[in-house]
Homo-oligomer: A and B are copies of this chain.
Amino acid sequence: LAVIRDRIEELRGLMKERQVSAYLVPSADPHHSEYVPEAWQRRKWISGFTGSSGDVVVTLDRAGLWTDSRYFLQAEKELEGIGIELFKMGCPDVPDLVTWIAENLRTGDSLGADPQLVPQGRAEETCRLLLRRGIGVKWLEENLIDILWKNRPALSAAPITLQGVEYSGESLEQKLARVREQMKAENVRIHIITTLDDIAWLFNIRGQDVAFNPVAVAYAIVTQENAKLFIDPNKIPDSVSESLRDSVQILPYGQFKGELSGHAKKKDRVWVDPAGVSRWITGIIEEGCDLLYKRSPVTVFKSIKNDTEISGFRNCHIRDGLAMVRFLSWLKRTAAQGGVTEISAAETLDAFRKEQDLYQGPSFVPISSYAAHGAIVHYRATPETDVEIGPQGLYLIDSGGQYLDGTTDITRTVALGSPTEEQRDRFTLVLKGHINLALASFPRGTKGIQLDTLARLPLWDRGLNYGHGTGHGIGSYLNVHEGPQTLSHSTGVDVALEKGMFLSIEPGYYKEGEYGIRIENLAYVVQDEARTTESLEFYRFETVTLCPIDLALILPERLTRQELLYLNRYHERVRETLSPHLSGDDRQFLEDATRPL
């Protein structure tokens, strides 16, 4: 505790030197990644708060942390006695971060912040709101935390690998050609790419710099004439540099700034993605350049999987399904005997995945949650919270794997012992919602927000709901959360679903203090041949996840004929695909778990 308090005092000393009355420490990195490399986890260092999301502001006499409902409990515990106030975002009467700064600083005061860590849009909004109260923003090039943080871990130097065309389905040259075509149409000379998975996709490379996301820390600049990759050269094995040589100029990460300044001098027209570009970048180029703020063509191309990637997804889901079935079979045999905990169960599942070809590691921290823990949507079992999975109750496991040929994300909820009638009722409603969406046909141009409702209808009809989106995009051996497409009523609402986009379908139901239910499969958008006419193109989903849905939790009489047919056909496909690769107890388990209702 004293360590953290000392750090905050040291920061205040520096703030006085730099003449700022408040300093912003966001949980962000220069690439606005969902997972931040250890070397850039400054928010954790200054506050002790370990959650993945939350911003700290330190003033000369106060300090606050803003985080969302996922982390209320954890933040309360971790901030205890440290002198940082917790602001629960979204709760009534809780001021947002900027309002709080405006109220705690005086006219003429300044907020200090690292422009690398603030996206352009947020920077503009913050400046605008503070200016209204006569408060300025100082963009300090040098990060104040970095000055104080002795023994800050170095950025990873782990080597990158090539993602061969056998998995990516498209060469670097072809991808660059498509990007350049878009650039030409927009009449821009250069395109700046800052998002790590966009860079990994475009250059057909993968890295190890960030947990769970196989990406490398880098910037890229594409022009009609060349493509420059700014990355620690020590990470590039000879074989990789040889392969990139013809199309890509590899430069040290630190030279990115100088390159930007050069473009600013040339007054180029530059394409930047408003979601990824930091205030630091726009600050360097905005004077000289004419900026086009528009979603990167790389983000759009990446979201639409080609035939090779689709095959990869189908193939890795067979292997992932085998790991899941062996896990569920093991759980059913073992849990009743006692001794299996949330953490040990997740470890066992990972061990089954490790036996599969092309497996590279988990795609996110698994949510392995028993009984009441299942109602905590983003639960993460720690040694302190870990409990034994008992002989009765619901167990929810949300997990995924990174394979060279694709990324998986699956949730299954299973009953230990005999489920209650209420649990079967709620599970059946969630299943009906899942099937509603999985079977949906929709015209070209339909956005995810228009379909999100389908998964909720059976719950709404009973006065119930769930507090998260219905689905997210997913990368191909890349980030488990990938935009721009979603099945949600709050994000990605302007994005039409396109053929080749992959999405999770994951409705749920949560009863606080008792249990959680979620059924998640991955699916991709295909043409609906049966409904498409000359005048109107229809799309539908094709599910790739292969794993039984617990029959013990279903009330078959509550399913429509169509729903029952869907379930039985799905289970038949799971059985026929996986069964040949299984034997003994596991095979028997699968036979039983996929029997027709």
Contact = CB atoms under 8 A, between A and B. Distances in A.
A536 interface: yes
Nearest to A453: B450
A393 B260 CA distance: 68
Given A450-B453, A493-B493, A463 B132 contact: no
A528 B464 CA distance: 12
Nearest to A447: B489
A461 B447 CA distance: 17
Interface string A441-476: 111001101111110010011111100000000000
A547 to B, nearest CB: 28
A23 B528 CA distance: 47
A470 to B, nearest CB: 11
A446 B489 CA distance: 9
Interface in A283-316: 290
Nearest to A449: B449
A463 B530 contact: yes
A460 B441 contact: yes
Given A132-B290, A290-B132, A493-B493, A536 B450 contact: no
A532 B463 contact: yes
A533 interface: yes
A22 B456 CA distance: 52
Interface string A525-553: 00010111100101000000000000000
Contacts of A443: 460, 465
Contacts of A442: 460
Contact of A462 (B440, B449, B465, B531): B531
Nearest to A531: B463
Nearest to A450: B453
A462 B538 CA distance: 10
B493 A463 contact: no
Contacts of A451: 453
B460 A538 contact: yes
Contacts of A440: 460
A533 B530 CA distance: 42
Contacts of A465: 443, 536
A493 B449 contact: yes
Nearest to A540: B460
- The winner among A440, A457, A463 for most chain B CB atoms within 10 A is A463
A451 to B, nearest CB: 7
A450 B538 contact: no
Contacts of A457: 454
A19 to B, nearest CB: 26
A450 B447 contact: no
Nearest to A459: B443
B533 A463 contact: yes
Given A132-B290, A290-B132, A493-B493, A461 B449 contact: no
A453 B447 CA distance: 10
Nearest to A538: B463
A225 to B, nearest CB: 22
Interface in A350-397: none
A493 B464 CA distance: 23
B463 A536 contact: yes
Contacts of A536: 463-465
Interface in A194-236: none
A460 B454 CA distance: 13
A450 B532 contact: no
Interface in A106-145: 132
A188 to B, nearest CB: 11
Contact of A453 (B454, B460, B530): B454
A441 to B, nearest CB: 5
A453 B487 CA distance: 13
A102 to B, nearest CB: 11
A500 B462 CA distance: 23
A582 B518 CA distance: 55
A538 B462 CA distance: 10
Contacts of A452: 450
A328 to B, nearest CB: 32
Contacts of A447: 489
A516 B440 CA distance: 26
Given A132-B290, A440-B460, A449-B449, 18 more contacts: A441-B461, A441-B463, A443-B460, A446-B489, A449-B489, A449-B493, A450-B452, A450-B453, A450-B489, A451-B453, A453-B454, A454-B457, A460-B531, A460-B538, A463-B530, A463-B531, A463-B532, A465-B536
Interface of A: 132, 269, 290, 440-443, 446-447, 449-454, 457, 460-465, 489, 493, 528, 530-533, 536, 538
6 contacts: A132-B269, A443-B460, A449-B450, A451-B453, A453-B454, A463-B531
In order of increasing CB-CB distance, the 6 nearest A-B pairs are: A463-B531, A450-B453, A443-B465, A441-B460, A450-B489, A453-B453
